[in-house]
Structure 1
Amino acid sequence: MHPIMIKSKSYPMPAALRAPYTAQHRITSPLGEILLARTADGLAGLWFEGQKDHPGGLSAPWQADDPLLLQTERELDAFWRGEPTEFSAPLDLHGTAFQRAVWQALLTIPTGHTTSYRSIAERVGTLSACRAVGAAVGRNPVSIIVPCHRVIGSSGGLTGYAGGLERKVALLRLEGVLAV
């Protein structure tokens, strides 16, 4: 199981706009610009530029030297190089109890593996709520680290990704799930 635990805070939605961000930093990745944001308790946001549900301008100060954001940047750099990476930044994910349960389930998907929305629904005890699981997966505020890109359709097909399907394909290729 992934060592990162999600804090059990609950904030009204939309969570991305209400999290008490204390710092933000923009980094460059092979898949485009990424915005990182943190709270006093941990990493609370990792969004690709142009991603669905990108929070836009945050009121937090720009801090390129923030230790937690720098740690995240270093770990992402290792990930992009294809090195085995255990993301170790504490997470402070803001969402409903159901969303947090789904995000916790995502953290159990090992690198190099995929699972279905149905399987995630089973894990969180809501087999009849596959669409709600899909919506929660799509609202994941810390992509890559909370690996929503590893969730595929029951038929094995690649379905949506808030960062864009081309990024999902690239992430799965990088992790060895898809042939190059």
Structure 2
Amino acid sequence: MYLTDLPYCPQDDWYAGLYRRIYYAPASWFRKLETSPQIHSLLEMTVDVHQIEMKIGCELKYIDVLYESAHIENQKKGVFGVSKFSSTLEFSLPTHLLPNRIFMYSTANEPMVFIVPDNNGRSWIVGNLYNPAKQQTNRLSTGQSVEGDSTLQLSYTAQSPLYRLKGEIEAIESVGAFSTGFSNGFA
């Protein structure tokens, strides 16, 4: 068990919510995504970008979600002594766009990994290779009136703790991919 003092509780510089753009890929697209199965310290709750590698030809995709519609929950399930953590990502998309509906159907039975930036400049990982995020609910609604929301609401849950990404999302590369500096001098 890891216990420590928590003397700092910022209240002026903390913003709720997630950034509009969510990055994702099927779990099968990852060659490596190292997460610690046992949590012994706060340092182990982070995943460095160098601990993540995509397979050749695979890259993270992104989806822009409706503003102020996304959030992550991390909660303990079970009773004392046999409890586990789960992470849930929920967000909404416009219903009328065909790519959004295709995304819903395509990921319905696909194990996924999401990398989600928040409004404080941090990124969170929902799902991993051993416990990927799976679609729990999808709700497509046209709304009942002109003022109603025509939205597609999606929820993905991973039976794992929430991990923080250390580094920039853009630094995650495919194995065998050339860096930008390597190709200098080639015609």
Same topology, TM > 0.5: no
**Larger relative strand fraction:** 2
- Compute the TM-score of the two structures, normalised by the length of structure 2: 0.28
- Compute the TM-score of the two structures, normalised by the length of structure 1: 0.29
**Using CA pairs below 8 Å that are at least 6 residues apart, which structure has the higher relative contact order?**
2
**Larger relative helix fraction:** 1
